[in-house]
């Protein structure tokens, strides 16, 4: 049973809200009878167990747990998933963001880190987050997970009749913005852009495009990918790939580590992101960005590599390093099968869901890959989410 707003070992009064037959039940805590030593006052009063469940702000479901215990719980989930679905016994601690990269976020409280936040709008124009697992807008007096510059300008006391949502965006270059979302689709070429800085490098992207929400996340993942790639297995001339590449963050991480002669193709289905990736990767003569779904891109590569006349191309892929950062659902069986056919030397897999990662690790192990190392990072404090970066190498 999954009991929201409780901690393992506590005694609570709970109400069952969802029964998935013999798979699991969901329940919500109504009262805490015997509290855990790991319980603390919720960092977001509007999400506290003292409120009725339907009036608790969603998006900070671990906010009542001490941060170090949050990380332990996330590590337990990752370890269990890798054992059950990946067939690997591995104890991986969940690390906090390096204070030098956190840029003012509170590592002790897990607050002040979100550079992006969406507030929803109710029928009467009231703004706020949704209550957990519902579309009920909860009015709030604070947004403690937001970076301070967004918390200061969040229009939580205002009304926006007719709007669909209010987005808060604080890029690392330029001023924070409040964006009222009406539902009208803006022409692609007219979409506002912003810049994000990671170390000495800048990335251009659409204001509403994807970027990691934690202020230190992009730098953390850049460093992790750079460190996890085995330099002895890396060939800068091979057909290296950055799958689900977005605006080129991780392809640039590879280029910055291995030099301007690196050959790498960033693959992304979003055309605007690919346009930005092409410009963001212009420093590397061998870098390119293509707009296509990853599964279709790999289907085409596998078909070409199966042609006997292209033996040299097959060799280029066997020498390759592949970085992939799929959506929460993971890469999945089809993509894994295609990658295994191409047989790159090493894979660096960035995952935001431990179960999807473990499933894909299991599929890769069945196809001749070994899980060498996993690093996990607490990029979403006060939530159950955890980011992991894994390296797998082909078994020779």
Closest by CA position to 17, among listed 131, 118, 140: 131
Q: What is the DSSP string of 294-330?
A: HHHHHHHHHHHHTSGGGHHHHHHHHT-EEEE---TT-
- The reply to whether 20 sits in an annotated binding site is no
Which phi and psi angles does 266 have, rounded to 5°?
-95, 125
Two tokens at 213? 């929400």
In angstroms, the CA 157 to CA 123 distance is 15
Cβ-in-10-Å burial (0-12, 13-18, 19+) of 77 comes to: middle
Question: How many helices, marked H, and strands, marked E, lie in the chain?
Answer: 10, 17
Greatest alpha-carbon span in the chain: 71
DSSP designation for 55: G
Distance (Å, whole) CA 129 – CA 207: 20
* Catalytic residue IDs: 352
Residue 52 makes CB contacts below 8 A (sequence gap 6+) with none
325 labeled binding residue: yes
How many other C-beta atoms can be found within 10 angstroms of the C-beta atom of residue 131?
21
Q: What is the DSSP string of 241-295?
A: EEET-TTSHHHHHHHHHH-TT-EEEEEES-HHHHHHHHHHTTT-TEEEEEES-HH
Report whether 82 contacts 361 (CB < 8 A): yes
Is 244 within any annotated ligand binding site?
yes
Binding residues: 212, 244, 268, 325
Q: Which residues are annotated as a binding site for S-adenosyl-L-methionine?
A: 212, 244, 268, 325
């Amino acid at each position: 049973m999954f009991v929201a707003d409780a901690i393992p070992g506590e005694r609570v009064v709970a109400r069952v809200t969802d029964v998935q037959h013999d798979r699991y039940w969901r329940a919500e805590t109504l009262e805490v009878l015997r509290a855990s030593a790991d319980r603390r006052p919720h960092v977001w009063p509007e999400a506290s167990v003292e409120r009725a469940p339907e009036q608790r702000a969603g998006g900070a479901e671990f906010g009542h747990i001490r941060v170090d215990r949050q990380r332990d719980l996330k590590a337990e989930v990752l370890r269990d998933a890798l054992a059950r679905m990946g067939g690997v016994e591995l104890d991986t601690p969940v690390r906090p963001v390096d204070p030098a990269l956190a840029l003012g976020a509170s590592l002790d409280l897990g607050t002040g880190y979100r550079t992006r936040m969406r507030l929803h709008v109710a029928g009467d124009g009231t703004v706020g987050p949704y209550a957990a697992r519902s579309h009920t807008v909860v009015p709030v007096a604070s947004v403690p997970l937001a970076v301070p510059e967004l918390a200061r300008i969040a229009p939580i006391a205002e009304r926006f009749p007719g709007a669909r949502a209010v987005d808060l965006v604080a890029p690392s270059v330029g001023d924070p913005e409040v964006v009222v979302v009406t539902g009208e689709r803006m022409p692609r070429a007219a979409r506002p852009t912003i810049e994000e800085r990671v170390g000495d490098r800048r990335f251009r992207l659409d204001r509403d495009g994807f970027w990691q929400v934690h202020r230190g996340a992009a730098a953390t993942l850049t460093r992790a990918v750079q460190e996890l790639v085995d330099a002895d297995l890396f060939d800068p001339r091979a057909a290296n790939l950055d799958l689900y590449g977005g605006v080129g963050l991780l392809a640039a991480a590879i280029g910055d580590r291995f030099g301007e002669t690196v050959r790498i193709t960033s693959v992304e289905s979003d055309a605007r992101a690919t346009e930005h990736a092409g410009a963001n990767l212009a420093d590397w003569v061998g870098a390119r960005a293509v707009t296509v779904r990853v599964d279709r891109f790999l289907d085409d590569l596998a078909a070409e590599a199966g042609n006997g006349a292209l033996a040299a191309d097959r060799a280029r892929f066997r020498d390759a390093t592949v970085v992939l950062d799929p959506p929460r659902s993971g890469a999945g069986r089809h993509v894994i099968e295609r990658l295994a056919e191409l047989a790159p030397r090493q894979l660096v897999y960035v995952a935001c869901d431990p179960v999807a990662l473990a499933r894909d690790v299991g599929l890769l192990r069945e196809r001749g890959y070994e899980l060498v190392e996993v690093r996990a990072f607490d990029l979403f404090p006060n939530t159950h989410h955890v980011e992991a970066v894994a390296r797998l190498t082909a078994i020779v």
